[in-house]
């Protein structure tokens, strides 16, 4: 294709994004270095020199990582199974996987309260079969928060993965088996690396999603705070958009670093991905 | 093949129970009598469904949300598909960079994007609220369109396009008669994901709503600020039914395997 | 010693029975080829042996053990796929090393063995490339190297050379044969290319619709096909219906349509049955102008030639240059015959010619299995 | 006046929470629209969202409903027009507390609610009569408190400083008390609806709660009771103000006057939308159930110094984040 | 009449020059084949003509008009892809009808022309199938039908038959040739298969690394390759260095290493230059036991044979059955020779044999282009 044609195709979208997102975002980021008319990095210093903030940041990252990891662990086999089914079943399963996305995050969080609460289904069940004597405290713990987020983001992971898995030549797994790989080993050394592009997209969606999620942690988590809490507090309650932008910039930078690391890891798994 | 996948089938079943279980609870409570989420629900009543139609704002915001999601999707397709095509077919320097630019909207925390857009679109450019809302949602949808459609494009053999051209089809004709039908599954997936993303969005919409213009998720959020009765569960159920019907319709119209090629 | 046997195997895709009561026995160290038209079940047979497919029925024995249910990765069979099936995310080196790594071969050993194997397939210097950066022929060679390097107990080749050009194909097949013999690896080989099958194999099995019609040494099959199908498949393009067979030791005479009398030497020992046809290759059929007919031509006496034994008159319709020879389509009362003849200047179209069927070159084949 | 002369109705943009919109339409908007040839356009959302949009200055909003605490922020930031009380004679009919909750220049409160204690009688064995009872060990792991960022957050600060023995609001004292109760707090809630749910799920048996939401809590847990502690309940005042730059200030004031009228206030009370702030509205006990009603109740509600709260908020949130985990 | 010409064309992928100053002229109605090893640029040449690739340099003329910048879809050239490139979402019928629909042919006409074309490629009854439901061979035939049905001004075939089995391949190539002649469509044909190229073409171009080394009628190329590369490529496996060439009309004598004296008839008329080699095919080389040497063998007198003219002694090392004949690798003082001989029973390994190079069969080829 001619270069001119290429650019003609790219330009509308590119211009649109540049004008309506990239420039504004850069100006917002830029504004974090100018406070009251002067160049400053005070916001960053304040944020990053505060051990408490760093701790929250750490916890948030940890939660996001665990969420992403669990989504991968749950999503991968599921997506693989879906990709192996016949076209019709595949359609139905994908549709079912998409269904949770139709329900607002709040409603979903509330339904998890019904499940995880003291009088919730899980406790009723465990009490019923006599496994426990006192209801377990699950709701309002980091675990509940993560369960909620996994439920929120798992469909995105599944869909991203099914997309790439469908296009993997079935002979490859057989080739690896004929060379002596067990099903598991073949899966790990062939299918997993080849899924890397989907894995990356899925992980980015889940990771960024859980990094910035606010409602679900608020509803399902207990007193645990996440970095998004501060972003919201500064933005919405305190109306301190300077600090909010600083936090956001830090979050964006973290996201880019994480994605960079993920890409690096991915390249190790699959240099062609 | 079948027995070998039995463990996997079981695992998948469990994952689906995890995914869909909460939805069952939502469906259950939406028919319950009590105004608090209870499961199993007590009594049976359709009052929450009735309530949806009694509050005008639900219908009005639903219309706005649908409008934005559909119109936005269309524009995102018009902007995104050519870009996705160029990115998957072209060989040029900086492709990787452009690729990451096109998915960057996913990477920015929603509130920040919403606020930034409010500051620039509404305040600075003084665009009407509805236009700003639309623009915000297009930005939101673009990465999904480009990523998903792009990946199905790159799996589609370019020689097939060349074949069409050699038979006399122009590039545009080739795209519509040969490429599009074959990336159908990617197209539908992309459109669907983008649609859902827009339909459920709160972060950006919250800043882009104004007098007379609001979206359903915002309305639902406003509603739960004040009440928590199963009305929003009922809305969710209606949305699921609607989507289900839509999917069945797509299936009827486009054949059995609309999600997957072959 | 019998290494492998398929006993009354049936294989089906969904409800489609592809192999039905299929039997095949292979000796240790043998290279056996499966030859047959597209869709006859060659790949299916290979995949069954490899363990990718499960038999609906029947038993698969290997080294005296029942292998019917042994999983693929426990079989230690090398498989070269028709579609290469290279791992796209690994370099050439890693592709070839894959099986060795699974076998926990030491790093140095792997390096050595992979390098050696790449030399064998003429791919030195390509170690770091990815499959996507290779030409079709190079990919195929990587696939072969990958299967060979693990020193499998059985090698399965599914059209391994179909994408190589003629010279490379010949070189590769010689290499495959050399390595196979050297390592004594029993091999099942599938190919479209007859010359390839014949040149490389100890035995060739000709398959038709899921059934082996003939399994013999290449030279035997080449000379003495048993059925019309086999004969047609291996290049006997000319068939004549025969009646009233008279057998006298190896000497056989027959009556054909249009009053043609046929005299031939039946050496194969294949039983002579009711429904048979006479068959002859284009290369073996002689074509001559009337003036060229001479005593001894095609093993026929002048008298025989004159009384029309084994001679059919016709006219040249099409002539094609084949390189070594010209090929003619000759129209006769018995139908169109195809004949090859090496000569400087070809016959003109419509030239009146005589076709002589040499006694020794005409074979009798069954029309049914 | 001149707006009845023009045929094209004037547009009056009102920013409000958006609950019971059907009732508001019937009782408030539609009659006003008819009488003044006005078209009312409503923008809905929570306090913060709507206030933030006003802050951006791009909004065309004429009137904004906010709870007193957020209204105070708006006032401090100069976002509102001063009202002319002469144009709103109905203010005189309001309870004192509602007439000028934020000062004479600013809008009145159209409704009054109270923050009291809700307890699950079935589970609570002791008699609860004071805010301080929340600190009792019986309630460990069975209590929820409001988050500092919501309207009732500052009230919690007040209760805590009182519990710690301070006579007025003292952050150090408050945090000392909060740290004491913190380990036993199930959750600091941000949404009242969330709180009803916690009662329903049995997660908590006691919590400070707005009487407005008590109905749903009662429905979830029939044994729930609303208690006014002996120190007094806290007043939650929802106010209405004219947004700076409004082109329809006079009309807006007319609208405020209309909303404060006995007619509207009574109708809204009967529909269980807003407790009346108009003292002329008379309700039966049944009609008043679940509402802050009656001079005796209303005039005894405690209020906070919102100006001070506003000034302190950032540092409170910061300490809250650090000290209560 | 010259229909098409490529003048000093250069094509590059990224920085890799694939074709450099490439020239090719094709007459109207001709079928010309490109033959050459994998990676030599055959597909590249076809894609350039089709318009899928742009030349960096040079001009492409078609019917006297400059076509260098004419877009693909305005060229009306049919292209049959190596990888089929069928439209996966269309039935066989729709695939074939695609080009006609673009040309706004009437519905009835389309139905007729498509049906006829499917008959030509033996695919009646497959109209409603999708490409995914066809075997490799069937797909290829659909691709051919699709390209033919639009009656293109030029037909471009990229290994159209490589996935068919031998019989079908022969049938299809006869069909392609028939249709091509009937419709008089000028055609450029790429294949790995030499026999296919020779049998189907008016002219064959042998390519090597982006350059045409020889372009001639098939019979000429077959008999008189000009360069060592061409000779090697078309099956002259045996090469001998020559010195001291003495030319006497068509009679040439030469000195070879190890004292071998060579006498040959140089008929091609190709100029005789400094650096040349003698070449001979395995089929043309005679192999005999000492006892079998006789007067006239290889066009040599008994005297010549005795004084060692054109005779090399050696030992059989490897023998391979090729079907028609046996192939021997014979070790001699001049290196290893490859010889074919039709015979009943093969020579033993290590048998001492004489190789005779018939005067008429030895050709002289240049070692450089
Ligand atoms: N996955 C499948 N599902 C259904 N039918 C199949 C499948 N794979 C092969 N077949 C059918 O089984 C038959 C045998 O196929 P197989 O691949 O063994 O043929 P083959 O002899 O290898 O042919 P080729 O020479 O074309 O590769 C064919 O008729 C084919 O259509
Ligand atoms: N897209 C590409 N990018 C870079 N190099 C390429 C590309 N396509 C082909 N080449 C290179 O160009 C050269 C010529 O390729 P071409 O496809 O013309 O070969 P060919 O003669 O058709 O070979 P084959 O017989 O294997 O099909 C090869 O060396 C190949 O590696
Ligand atoms: Mg096959
Ligand atoms: Mg090619």
Q: What is the DSSP string of C44-101?
A: HHHHHHHTSS--SEEEEEETTEE-TT--GGGT-EEEEBTTB---TTS-HHHHHHHHHH
C-alpha distance from residue E247 to each of A229, D107, E241 (Å): 98, 121, 16
Least Cα distance to A25 among A247, A245, A256, A231 occurs for A245
| CA gap C127, C147 in Å, rounded | 16
Please tell me the distance between residue E231's alpha carbon and the centre of ligand 4 in angstroms. Answer: 21
Percent of chain E with pLDDT over 90: 41
Please give, rounded to a whole number of angstroms, the shortest distance from the CA of A92 to a CA of chain B.
9
Q: Which two tokens stand for residue C303?
A: 């008298």
Q: List the structure tokens of A99.
A: 């269904």
Residues in chain A within 8 Å Cβ distance of C13 = none
Ligand of minimum distance to the alpha carbon of C40 = 1
| E-strand stretches of chain A | 34-35, 38-39
Residue pair D115/D237 in contact (Cβ under 8 Å)? The answer is: no
User: Hey, what long-range contacts does C321-327 have (CB within 8 A, 24 or more apart)?
Assistant: C321/C346, C321/E198, C321/E199, C321/E218, C321/E219, C321/E222, C322/E195, C322/E198, C322/E199, C323/E194, C323/E195, C323/E198, C323/E199, C323/E218, C323/E222, C323/E234, C323/E235, C324/E222, C324/E283, C325/C283, C327/C282, C327/E199
Q: What is the pLDDT of residues D302-319, one digit of tens each?
A: 999 988 998 998 899 989
Can you list the alpha helix ranges (DSSP code H) found in chain C?
A: 42-50, 92-102, 107-120, 136-148, 166-183, 194-200, 218-223, 228-233, 302-306
Interface of A with D (CB under 8 A): 52, 110, 113-114, 117-120, 135, 137, 139-140, 218-219, 222-225, 230, 233, 236-240
DSSP string, A144-181: HHHHHHHHHHHHHHHHHHHHHHTTS-HHHHHHHHHTT-
pLDDT digit string (tens) for chain A, length 273 residues: 677 888 899 999 999 999 999 999 998 888 889 877 788 888 899 888 988 889 989 999 999 999 999 999 999 999 999 988 887 788 888 888 888 887 888 888 888 988 998 888 888 889 988 888 888 888 888 899 999 999 999 998 998 888 788 778 778 888 898 888 888 888 888 888 888 888 888 898 899 889 888 888 888 887 888 888 888 888 878 888 888 889 889 988 988 898 888 888 888 877 765
pLDDT value of position E163: 67
Could you give the CA distance from residue E117 to residue E109 in angstroms, rounded to a whole number? 12
pLDDT tens, chain B, 262 aa long: 444 578 889 999 999 999 999 999 888 888 988 777 777 777 888 988 998 888 888 888 999 999 999 999 999 999 999 999 998 888 788 888 888 888 888 888 787 788 888 888 888 888 888 999 999 999 999 998 998 888 778 777 888 888 898 888 888 899 999 998 888 877 887 888 898 889 888 888 888 888 778 899 888 888 877 777 788 889 889 988 888 887 777 766 654 444 443 3
As a whole number, mean pLDDT of residues E139-168 equals 85
Please tell me the distance from the alpha carbon of residue C122 to that of residue C137, in angstroms, as a whole number: 11
Q: DSSP state, C224?
A: -
CA E48 – CA E54 distance, rounded (Å): 6
List the 15-54 stretch of C: residues with Cβ below 8 A of E.
37-39
* Alpha-carbon span A44 to A29, nearest angstrom: 12
pLDDT (tens digit per residue) in E71-102: 888 899 999 987 788 998 899 999 999 999 99
Residues with CB under 5 A from ligand 3 (ion): C 43
Question: How far apart are alpha carbons D235 and B252 in whole angstroms?
Answer: 59
Contact indicator for B186, B146 with CB cutoff of 8 Å: no
pLDDT of residue B4: 56
Alpha carbons D204 and D200: distance in angstroms, whole number: 9
Residue numbers of A between 43 and 82 with CB closer than 8 Å to C: none
For A163, counting Cβ atoms within 10 Å of its Cβ (0-12 exposed, 13-18 middle, 19+ buried), the class is: buried
List, in sequence order, every residue forming a beta bridge with C155; answer none if it has no partner.
C78, C187
Query: What is the C-alpha to C-alpha distance for residues D284 and D279, in angstroms, rounded to an integer?
Result: 14
Q: Which residues of A touch D188 (CB under 8 A)?
A: 223
Calpha distance E238→E355 (Å, rounded): 11
Nearest CA in chain D to B39: D201
Ligand closest to CA C207: 1
Q: Which residues surround ligand 4, an ion (CB under 5 A)?
A: E 43
| Ligand 1 lining (C-beta closer than 6 Å) | C 13, 16, 18, 38-44; E 135-136
Give the CB-side neighbour count of residue E231, counting CA atoms within 13 A. 27
**DSSP bridge pairs for E316:** E330
- Per-residue pLDDT reduced to its tens digit, E209-258: 899 999 999 989 998 999 999 999 888 989 999 988 888 888 899 988 88
- What does each C-alpha distance from C94 to A183, C85, C149 come to in angstroms? 19, 14, 12
- Do residues D277 and D261 lie in contact, with contact meaning Cβ atoms separated by under 8 Å? no
pLDDT digits 0-9 by tens, D116-153: 999 999 988 889 999 999 999 999 989 999 999 888 99
State residue B258's pLDDT score: 41
What mean pLDDT do residues D72-80 have? 92
Q: How far apart are CA D280 and CA D262, in angstroms?
A: 6
Residue nearest to atom 3 of ligand 1 (CA): C13
**What is the model's pLDDT at position B261?**
38
Do the chains contact at B233 and A81, CB–CB below 8 Å?
Answer: no
Cβ–Cβ < 8 Å for C340, C284: no
CA E186 to chain centroid: 17
The DSSP bridge partners found for residue D11 are D39
Pairwise CA distance, residues C141 & C118, whole Å: 8
What CA–CA distance (Å, rounded) separates E241 from C254?
Answer: 55
Per-residue confidence band for D60, with pLDDT thresholds at 50, 70 and 90 = confident
User: Which has more pLDDT, E341 or C298?
Assistant: E341
Residue with structure tokens 């494009």? B153
Residue owning the nearest CA to atom 20 of ligand 2: E39
pTM for this model (two decimals):
0.79
A111 → chain D, closest CA residue = D197
* 3-state DSSP assignment of residue E145: helix
The pLDDT of residue A179 is 87
Structure confidence at residue C101 (pLDDT)? 92
pLDDT-flagged residues of chain C (< 50): none
Distance C159 CA to ligand 3 centre (A): 7
With a 6 A CB cut-off, is E308 part of the ligand 2 pocket? no
Cis bond before residue E274 (omega within 30° of 0): no
> Chains contacting D with at least 3 CB pairs below 8 Å?
A, B
Q: Which two tokens stand for residue D70?
A: 């957020």
**pLDDT for residue D4 is more than 50:** no
**Mean pLDDT of all residues belonging to chain D:** 89
- For B262, nearest residue in chain E (alpha carbons): E132
- What span, in angstroms and rounded, lies between the C-alpha atoms of E58 and E214? 21
CA of C24 to the centre of ligand 3 (A): 18
Whether C136 is in the pocket of ligand 2, judged by its Cβ within 6 Å, is yes
Calpha distance C158→E21 (Å, rounded): 40
Residue C94's contacts (CB-CB under 8 Å, 6 or more residues apart) are C87
Query: How far is the centre of ligand 4, averaged over its atoms, from the C-alpha of E12 (Å)?
Result: 15
pLDDT tens digits, residue range D246-305?
999 999 999 999 999 999 999 999 998 899 999 999 999 888 888 889 888 898 899 999
Task: Identify the pLDDT of residue E228.
Answer: 94
Q: Which atom of ligand 1 is nearest to the CA of C40?
A: 21
Taking CB atoms and an 8 Å limit, are E99 and B167 in contact across chains? yes
The token pair that represents C157 in the structure block: 């080749």
E47 lines ligand 2 (CB under 6 A): no
Q: Which long-range contacts (CB under 8 A, 24 or more apart) does E67-73 make?
A: E71/B165, E71/B170, E72/B162, E72/B165, E72/B166, E73/B165, E73/B166, E73/B167, E73/B168, E73/B169, E73/B170, E73/B171, E73/B173, E73/B174
**D61 chain-B contacts, CB cut-off 8 A:** 211
pLDDT at D1 over 60: no
Say if E349 is an interface residue toward chain C (CB within 8 Å): no
Question: Half-sphere exposure (CA, 13 Å, Cβ side) for A175?
Answer: 29
Please count the CA atoms within 13 angstroms of the CA of B189 that sit on its side-chain side. Answer: 31
| Cβ E18 under 6 angstroms from ligand 2 | yes
Q: Is ipTM beyond 0.85? A: no
Position A237 scores a pLDDT of 80
pLDDT value at residue C299: 75
Q: Which secondary-structure segment (H or E) carries C36?
A: none
Quote the CA–CA distance of A138 and A144 in Å, as a whole number: 6
- pLDDT over 50 at D3, yes or no: no
Q: Token pair for residue A50?
A: 């505060």
Cβ(A229)–Cβ(A218) below 8 Å: yes
Q: Candidates C10, C13, C156, C188: which one to mutate for ligand 1, based on the most atoms within 8 Å of Cβ?
A: C13
Q: Which residues contact B34 (CB under 8 A, 6 or more apart)?
A: B41, B42, B43, D219, D220
In whole angstroms, give the CA distance from residue B159 to residue B179. 11
Q: What is the 3-state secondary structure (H, E, C) of B96-153?
A: HHHHHHHHHHHHCCHHHHHHHHHHHHHHHCCCCHHHHHHHHHHHHHHHHHHHHHHHHH
CA distance A222 to chain D (A): 5
> Could you say which ligand is closest to the alpha carbon of residue E132?
1
């Amino acid at each position: 294709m001619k270069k001119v044609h290429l650019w003609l195709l790219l330009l509308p979208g590119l211009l649109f994004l540049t004008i309506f997102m990239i420039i504004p975002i850069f100006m917002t980021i830029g504004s974090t270095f100018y406070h009251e008319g002067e160049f400053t990095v005070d916001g960053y210093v304040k944020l990053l020199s505060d051990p408490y903030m760093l701790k929250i940041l750490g916890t948030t990252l940890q939660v996001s990582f665990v969420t992403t990891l669990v989504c991968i662990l749950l999503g991968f086999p599921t997506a693989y199974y879906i990709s192996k089914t016949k076209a019709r079943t595949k359609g139905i399963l994908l549709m079912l996987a998409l269904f949770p996305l139709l329900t607002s995050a709040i409603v979903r969080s509330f339904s998890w309260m019904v499940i995880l609460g003291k009088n919730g289904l899980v406790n009723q069940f465990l009490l019923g079969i006599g496994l426990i004597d006192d209801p377990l405290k699950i709701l309002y713990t980091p675990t509940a928060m993560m369960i909620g987020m996994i439920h929120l983001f798992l469909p995105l992971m599944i869909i991203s993965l099914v997309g790439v898995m469908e296009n993997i030549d079935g002979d490859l797994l057989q080739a690896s088996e004929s060379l002596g790989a067990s099903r598991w080993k073949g899966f790990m050394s062939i299918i997993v690396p080849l899924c890397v592009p989907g894995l990356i997209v899925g992980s980015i969606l889940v990771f960024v999603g859980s990094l910035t999620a606010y409602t679900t942690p608020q509803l399902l988590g207990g007193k645990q705070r996440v970095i998004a809490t501060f972003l919201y507090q500064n933005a919405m309650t305190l109306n301190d958009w300077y600090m909010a932008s600083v936090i956001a910039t830090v979050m964006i930078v973290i996201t880019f670093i994480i994605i960079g690391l993920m890409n690096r890891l991915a390249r190790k798994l699959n240099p062609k991905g | 093949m079948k027995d070998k996948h039995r463990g996997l089938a079981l695992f998948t079943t469990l994952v689906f129970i995890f995914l869909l279980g909460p939805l069952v609870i939502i469906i259950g409570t939406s028919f319950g009598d009590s105004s608090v989420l209870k499961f199993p629900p007590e009594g049976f009543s359709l009052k929450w469904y009735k309530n949806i139609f009694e509050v005008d704002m639900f219908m009005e915001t639903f219309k706005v949300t649908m409008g934005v999601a559909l119109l936005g999707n269309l524009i995102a397709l018009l902007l995104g598909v050519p870009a996705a095509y160029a990115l998957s077919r072209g060989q040029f320097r900086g492709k990787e960079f452009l690729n990451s630019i096109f998915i960057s909207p996913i990477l920015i925390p929603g509130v920040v994007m919403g606020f930034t857009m409010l500051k620039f679109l509404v305040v600075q450019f003084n665009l009407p609220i509805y236009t700003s809302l639309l623009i915000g949602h297009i930005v939101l949808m673009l990465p999904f369109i480009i990523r998903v459609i792009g990946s199905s494009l790159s799996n589609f053999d370019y020689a097939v396009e060349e074949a069409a051209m050699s038979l006399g089809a122009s590039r545009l004709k080739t795209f519509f008669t040969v490429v599009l039908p074959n990336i159908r599954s990617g197209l539908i997936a992309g459109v669907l994901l983008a649609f859902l993303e827009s339909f459920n969005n709160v972060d950006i919409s919250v800043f882009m709503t104004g007098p007379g213009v609001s979206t359903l998720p915002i309305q639902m959020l406003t509603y739960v600020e004040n009440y928590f009765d199963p009305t929003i569960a009922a809305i969710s159920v209606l949305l699921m039914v609607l989507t289900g019907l839509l999917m069945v319709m797509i299936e009827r119209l486009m054949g059995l395997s609309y999600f997957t090629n072959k | 010693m019998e290494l492998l046997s398929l006993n009354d195997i049936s294989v089906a895709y969904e409800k489609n029975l592809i192999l039905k009561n299929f039997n095949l026995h292979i000796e240790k160290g043998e290279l056996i080829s499966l030859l047959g038209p597209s869709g006859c079940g060659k790949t299916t047979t290979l995949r069954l042996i490899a363990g990718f497919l499960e038999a609906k029925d029947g038993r698969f024995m290997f080294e005296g053990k029942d292998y019917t249910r042994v999983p693929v990765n426990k079989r230690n069979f090398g498989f070269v796929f028709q579609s290469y099936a290279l791992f796209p995310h690994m370099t050439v080196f890693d592709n070839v090393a894959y099986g060795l790594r699974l076998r926990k071969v030491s790093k140095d050993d792997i390096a050595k063995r992979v390098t050696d194997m790449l030399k064998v397939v003429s791919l030195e210097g390509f170690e770091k490339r990815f499959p996507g950066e290779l030409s079709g022929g190079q990919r195929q060679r990587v696939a072969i190297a990958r299967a060979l390097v693990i020193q499998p107990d059985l090698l399965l080749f599914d059209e391994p050379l179909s994408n190589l050009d003629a010279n490379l194909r010949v070189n590769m097949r010689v290499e495959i044969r050399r390595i196979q013999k050297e390592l004594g690896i029993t091999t099942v080989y599938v190919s479209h290319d007859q010359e390839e099958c014949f040149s490389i194999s100890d035995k060739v099995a000709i398959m038709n619709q899921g059934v082996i019609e003939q399994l013999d040494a290449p030279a035997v099959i080449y000379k003495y096909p048993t059925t019309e199908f086999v004969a047609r498949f291996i290049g006997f393009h000319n068939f004549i219906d025969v009646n009233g067979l008279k057998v006298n030791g190896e000497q056989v005479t027959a009556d054909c349509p249009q009053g043609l009398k046929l005299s031939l030497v039946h050496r194969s020992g294949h039983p002579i049955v009711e429904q048979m046809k006479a068959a002859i290759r284009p290369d073996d059929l002689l074509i001559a102008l009337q003036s060229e007919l001479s005593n001894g031509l095609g093993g026929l006496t002048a008298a025989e030639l004159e009384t029309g034994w084994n001679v059919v008159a016709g006219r040249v319709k099409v002539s094609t240059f084949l390189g070594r020879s010209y090929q003619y389509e000759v129209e006769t009362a018995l139908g169109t015959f195809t004949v090859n003849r090496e000569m400087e200047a070809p016959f003109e179209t419509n030239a009146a010619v005589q076709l002589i069927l040499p006694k020794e070159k005409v074979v009798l084949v069954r029309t049914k299995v | 006046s001149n707006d009845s002369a023009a045929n094209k109705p004037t547009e009056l943009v009102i920013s409000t929470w958006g609950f019971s919109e059907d009732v508001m339409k019937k009782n408030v908007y539609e009659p006003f629209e008819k009488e003044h040839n006005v078209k009312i356009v409503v923008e809905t959302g929570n306090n913060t969202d709507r206030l933030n949009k006003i802050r951006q200055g791009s909004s065309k909003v004429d009137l904004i409903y906010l709870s007193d605490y957020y209204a105070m922020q708006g006032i401090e930031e100069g976002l509102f027009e001063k009202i002319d009380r002469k144009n709103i004679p109905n203010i005189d009919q309001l309870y004192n507390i509602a007439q000028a909750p934020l000062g004479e220049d600013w809008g009145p409160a159209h409704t009054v609610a109270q923050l009291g204690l809700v307890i699950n009688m079935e589970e609570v064995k002791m008699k609860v009569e004071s805010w301080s009872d929340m600190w009792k060990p019986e309630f460990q792991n069975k209590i929820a408190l409001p988050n500092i960022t919501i309207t009732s957050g500052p009230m919690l600060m007040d209760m805590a400083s009182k519990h710690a023995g301070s006579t007025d609001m003292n952050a150090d004292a408050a945090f000392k008390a909060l740290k004491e109760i913190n380990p036993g707090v199930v959750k600091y809630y941000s949404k009242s609806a969330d709180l009803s749910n916690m009662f329903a799920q049995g997660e908590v048996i006691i919590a400070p709660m707005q009487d407005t939401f008590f109905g749903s809590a009662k429905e979830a847990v029939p044994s729930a009771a609303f208690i006014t502690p002996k120190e007094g309940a806290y007043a939650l005042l929802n106010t209405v103000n004219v947004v700076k730059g409004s082109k329809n200030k006079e009309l807006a004031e007319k609208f405020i006057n209309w909303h404060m009228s006995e007619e509207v206030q009574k109708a809204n009370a009967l529909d269980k939308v807003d407790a009346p702030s108009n003292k002329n509205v008379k309700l039966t006990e049944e009609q008043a159930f679940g509402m802050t009603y009656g001079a005796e109740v209303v005039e005894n509600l405690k209020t906070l110094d919102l100006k001070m709260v506003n000034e302190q908020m950032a540092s409170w949130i910061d300490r809250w984040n650090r000290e209560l985990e």
